[in-house]
A and B are shown apart, each in its own frame.
Chain A
């Protein structure tokens, strides 16, 4: 009886060890040198491609260059996620914001937003005005917040199709940059991301 249990133990242990040995080891991926397999869903490479194309096009068009010098102030408006995936659209907009900021042409305001300020501290800090507990020389004065000139809005769409025995997933990243003074879209862009793969793959 004891012998049988020992044999079972050894067999199970060996099996587990073999399985553990076959599993892919966890490793870091360097985004600058990633030749990894493509997923049917949107991954970081897709957001990078969409952001790169958008920023290239925006810079080339001159739409983000203030003719009077200085930087434009941009606010991020609604970027709708019309895909079957749970996407945080900040993955896209943050790349665009960072690149535009680095270009020296655009700065993004975090003091206003469709669902309230991205950083509520701009207003909270002003609540300290007239508080006897705070040195008033450091409290923000009235009329110092800057209103935005440009608004970035957009949508990420998804369409699923069957092509022969394969599945085709189409993503469209559509962006508009609106001049808030005139309400006109000074720049617009669309980046299609098309993937084809096994019908068994899921894109959600």
Chain B
């Protein structure tokens, strides 16, 4: 009986090991990067209600990643946001500038913001929302 249990347990363990995600060869496997990063202070006055992405077709057959997100304001406030773009290997792809874009929100207002990736090789992004100090 004990031997039977041992064999079953061993078999299950082998199966589980087989199902576990394999370590891919490229470095992207080691990246644990959330697409949406919201500072705790922002949660007091706003919430992200939508987060959409699509690839915009270009005349030469390529496409660019475009994202759109919506913010619902609970009170009048200022918001700063920045998108960092990444390629398939997780490497950053530079855009025009590095600074945060500022936006003002009115109570009850829903604002939609969009951004287009600077290069066709962009496949991922990180959106950071924070409260500007000035």
Which residues of A line the B interface, CB within 8 A?
31-32, 34-38, 45, 48-49, 51-52, 55-57, 59-60, 62, 65-69, 95-96, 98-99, 102-104
Contacts and interface: CB of A to CB of B under 8 A. Distances in A.
For the complex, would chain B's binding face be called helix, strand, loop or mixed by DSSP majority? loop
A87 to B, nearest CB: 17
B97 A52 contact: yes
Nearest to B98: A32
Top 6 nearest A-B pairs (CB, nearest first) are A32-B98, A48-B97, A67-B59, A35-B133, A52-B96, A65-B58
Contacts of A69: 60
A31 B98 CA distance: 6
28 contacts: A31-B98, A31-B99, A32-B99, A35-B80, A45-B99, A48-B96, A52-B95, A52-B97, A52-B101, A55-B95, A55-B96, A56-B115, A56-B116, A59-B64, A59-B116, A62-B59, A65-B58, A65-B59, A66-B60, A67-B60, A68-B60, A69-B60, A96-B96, A99-B118, A102-B118, A103-B118, A103-B119, A104-B119
Interface of B: 56-60, 62, 64, 66, 80, 94-99, 101, 114-120, 132-134
Contacts of A57: 116
B59 A66 contact: yes
Contacts of B101: 49, 52
B96 A51 contact: yes
A75 to B, nearest CB: 20
A62 B73 CA distance: 33
A48 B60 contact: no
Contacts of B60: 65-69
B99 A34 contact: yes
